[in-house]
Structure 1
Amino acid sequence: MAGYIRFVIYKGSLGLQIGRAEHRWEFSGDGRYRLKATTETSGLAALFKPIRMETESQGLLVAGGLQPESYRSLKNGGDNNENADFDWSTAQVTLARDGSVRPIAPGTQDILSLNYQLAYLGKLAEGSEIGVVTGKKYERYAIDSLGEEEIETPAGRFRTLHLRAMTDNTTEIWIALDRQYLPVKIRFTDRKGDSYEQVVSEIGTPSPN
């Protein structure tokens, strides 16, 4: 099974479009998954500061959902040293940035797989807690439910559940309740208060070769 989601990216509350993103997923018959995300600036933003980020998560599909084995990140085609390797036999993750090895809790995700693991978490409306590896560090995210919302997007109207995870930064994810809990809106707010919002523009499946 394979598919993709395309997003437009806006900066701040003014709705200034600064980029686009695409998530692709593959689930194979042997119980493996692969997620790839590409994010790049567009329009005037690309003229002033061209940036292309690529991330990839690979691992197993188990009873509890996604179980990452590796997370890779590239910036403008080069390794930005924000990679992670998971060893579930010892419940540890190795972070490439400083070579450190950290213990991880069952169900821990990387920052990309988190968006799709939400579909496997029970009782999301009551909130949850999950370990997350960002490529730089390992953290525990407390996920709060802010309730159901109807949102309008370039891809149509969706009935969603609005979730929020707060650490030094704040990540909000709106998952589509009638579309396999896919993330259709993602908002990231940094510690300075600057926010970036990804809003779905297309959901589909790859064309056959």
Structure 2
Amino acid sequence: AKDEAAPAALPDDLLLAVATTAPAVAATGGDAAPPTYRTRIPAAARVDYRLSRGAITGSGEIDWRPQGSGYVLRLEGRVPIIGTLITQTSRGGFDAAGLAPERYTDKRLRRAEQAASFQRGAGVISFSGQSPEQPVTPGVQDRLSVMLQLAAIANAWSKPPPAGEHFLIRVVGARGDAHVWSLRFEGLQSVDTPAGSVRALRFLREPEGPQDTRAEFWLDPARQYLPVRARLTDGSSDAFELLRVN
């Protein structure tokens, strides 16, 4: 597969722009719903990555398909001999806050698939397991769509903000976890890839506890801010990393 991130202009209904709004209190958990941001949805792309988790290495692919009023986003990671390590899919539409997920699935090696369903009419997010429902709040993302939502936010900038600015995105996992991720903009950094060095915008989310997720994203301004590198770490396993190869 080849990167296709140099596309034609998107239709106007995918160029979503809203003013930042004040936080509102979420229905459960006492968390404040984060603000919404102006977004410009990246056009379709399929990007190949080198995947690593500890000493295990393989290949990965992100397939991003916005079409009309909806989208399909898929991440697949494979390793030799073992096979498919991870498959995540996010399907949804678009609204004034950017991506609006409707269903997110997460399938790991030797584990049953887990799913989160965003029932926007009812205002709740339900899960395939026994986890209690969560409220739907403006701009809420799943653990896959958050990468494209962050790219859509950056894609709408006329210029990058000052280093140190925080972007708040509520992120929901397939197993019922929900947190407001505070992603700190770290400025431009060089990322060494098999195709050469890339100057990318780095965002960092520090974990809130020992088992929480540390998230790092490096977004490429030359390719609509799609991630050139992504690294997710929690307290119970090795870091999961994607590095673009083309």
TM-score range relative to shorter protein: 0.7 to 0.9
Q: 2:89 aligns with which of 56, 59, 80?
A: 56
The 3-state SS of whatever aligns with 2:245 is strand
- Residues 1:135 and 2:174 are matched in the alignment: yes
Matched-pair identity in %: 28
Q: 1:74 aligns with which of 104, 107, 111?
A: 107
Q: Once the 2 structures are TM-superposed, how far is the Cα of residue 106 of structure 1 from its aligned partner? A: 1.2
- Residues 1:96 and 2:128 are matched in the alignment: yes
The 3-state SS of whatever aligns with 2:222 is coil
Where do residues 1-209 of structure 1 align in structure 2 (5 Å cutoff)? 2-12=44-54, 16=55, 18-29=57-68, 31-42=69-80, 46=81, 49-76=82-109, 80-121=112-153, 123=161, 125=163, 126-136=165-175, 137-167=177-207, 168-192=212-236, 194-202=238-246
The 3-state SS of whatever aligns with 2:224 is coil
Q: Deviations over 1:81-103 (max 9, x none)?
A: 42000022343211112152111
Q: CA RMSD in A?
A: 2.3
Question: Using the alignment, how far apart are the partners of 1:95 and 1:106 within structure 2?
Answer: 19
Q: Once the 2 structures are TM-superposed, how far is the Cα of residue 154 of structure 1 from its aligned partner? A: 1.6
Q: Which runs of 5+ in 1 are unaligned?
A: 203-209
Q: Once the 2 structures are TM-superposed, how far is the Cα of residue 124 of structure 1 from its aligned partner? A: 8.3
What is the aligned length?
Answer: 192
Question: Using the alignment, how far apart are the partners of 2:52 and 2:131 within structure 1?
Answer: 34
Please, what TM-score do these two structures have when normalized by structure 1?
Answer: 0.82
Question: Using the alignment, how far apart are the partners of 1:102 and 1:86 within structure 2?
Answer: 9
- Structure that is richer in strand per residue: 1
Q: Which runs of 5+ in 2 are unaligned?
A: 1-42, 155-160
